[in-house]
């Protein structure tokens, strides 16, 4: 198995929303805000090459939205999914499985592009994966979450015949070496992949722990639908990560890709930060 960090680009979100009840005097040290209180965030995907399958976990926001939409989220930087796949010798056509942790626009928008008056899949040879509970939630969102679920990112997947549902139980294997953890604090049935890699596991944190700064238990996003559920889920999975030496992979941290954790007198904290490319030296 081979794993690669694929950054699809950067965008901006309000710092207060990203850090919830944590005061700006604290979080601004972790990710300094601009004059509009906006912080830069990565949209970092994970490519898992099993030999037979090339699985891309999430795909960023894409570029099909209008100028008004992008004026709210300030996409920036030179990174794209295509460019960073090519860096490792892959193209979008090589992807066999497009695994969406959830269907918020910054996680799935890059999977569909415009074609004339309609839409088409970016990964034309891939099957796209969600789960039934989350899919149904995305099609009938609550008013608070509606702006994150964009019809043009979601329905074309079904219309082009690419939609598949993950059916394994919580913590069960979707395919050998690829487990799925379901969490419901951020949104209904978000899926956190857990990849068996050498003698450890890589936990793709998605929006449960979007950055290294969010490892501390009270650092929970205001975007979360059920913040107390998020807190319980962080307790469960981060304790498991400490106990078993799992590697955390951060989707949104603008600088830090991976970390190992440790217990301290102040609770679970980051022990060591490193890039995914250096993982072999950390887990041997």
Tally of structural domains, the chain: 1
Dist CA 193 CA 279 (whole Å): 17
Dist CA 5 CA 15 (whole Å): 24
Q: Residue 234 maps to which CATH number?
A: 3.60.15.10
Closest Cα partner for 180 from 154, 27, 189, 86?
189
Q: Along the 284 residues of the chain, how does pLDDT read in single tens digits?
A: 999 999 999 999 999 999 999 999 999 999 999 999 999 999 999 999 999 999 999 999 999 999 999 999 999 999 999 999 999 999 999 999 999 999 999 999 999 999 998 999 999 999 999 999 999 999 999 999 999 999 999 999 999 999 999 999 999 999 999 999 999 999 999 999 999 999 999 999 999 999 999 999 999 999 999 999 999 999 999 999 999 999 999 999 999 999 999 999 999 999 999 999 999 998 86
Q: Are 39 and 30 in contact (CB under 8 A)?
A: no
Closest Cα partner for 45 from 121, 90, 100, 94?
100
Dist CA 112 CA 50 (whole Å): 24
Domain extent for 70: 2-283
Per-residue tokens: 30: 């972790």
The beta strands (E) that lie in the chain are given as: 2-14, 38-49, 54-57, 97-99, 112-115, 118-121, 127-130, 163-165, 172-175, 178-183, 190-197, 200-204, 247-249, 258-264, 267-274
């Amino acid at each position: 198995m081979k794993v690669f960090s694929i950054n699809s680009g950067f965008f901006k979100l309000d710092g207060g929303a990203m850090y919830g009840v944590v005061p700006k005097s604290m979080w601004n040290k972790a990710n300094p805000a601009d004059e509009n209180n906006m912080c830069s965030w990565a949209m970092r995907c994970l490519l898992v090459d099993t030999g037979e399958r090339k699985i891309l976990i999430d795909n960023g926001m894409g570029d099909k939205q209008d100028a008004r939409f992008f004026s709210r989220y300030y996409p920036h930087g030179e990174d794209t999914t295509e460019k960073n796949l090519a860096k490792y010798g892959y193209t979008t056509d090589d992807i066999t499985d497009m695994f969406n942790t959830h269907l918020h626009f910054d996680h799935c928008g890059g999977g569909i592009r415009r074609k004339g008056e309609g839409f088409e899949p970016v990964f034309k040879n891939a099957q796209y994966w969600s789960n039934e509970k989350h899919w149904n939630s995305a099609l009938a969102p609550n008013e608070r979450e509606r702006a994150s679920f964009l019809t043009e990112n979601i329905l074309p997947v079904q219309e082009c015949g690419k939609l598949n549902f993950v059916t394994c139980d919580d913590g069960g294997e979707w395919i050998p070496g690829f487990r799925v953890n379901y969490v419901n604090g951020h949104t209904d049935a978000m899926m956190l992949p857990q990849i068996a890699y050498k003698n450890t596991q890589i936990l793709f944190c998605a929006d449960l722990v979007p950055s290294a700064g969010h490892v501390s238990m009270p650092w929970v996003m205001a975007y979360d639908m059920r913040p107390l559920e998020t807190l319980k889920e962080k307790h469960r999975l981060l304790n498991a990560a400490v106990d078993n030496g799992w590697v955390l992979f951060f989707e949104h941290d603008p600088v830090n890709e991976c970390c190992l954790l440790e217990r301290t007198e102040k609770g679970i904290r980051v022990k060591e930060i490193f890039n995914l490319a250096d993982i072999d030296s950390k887990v041997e």
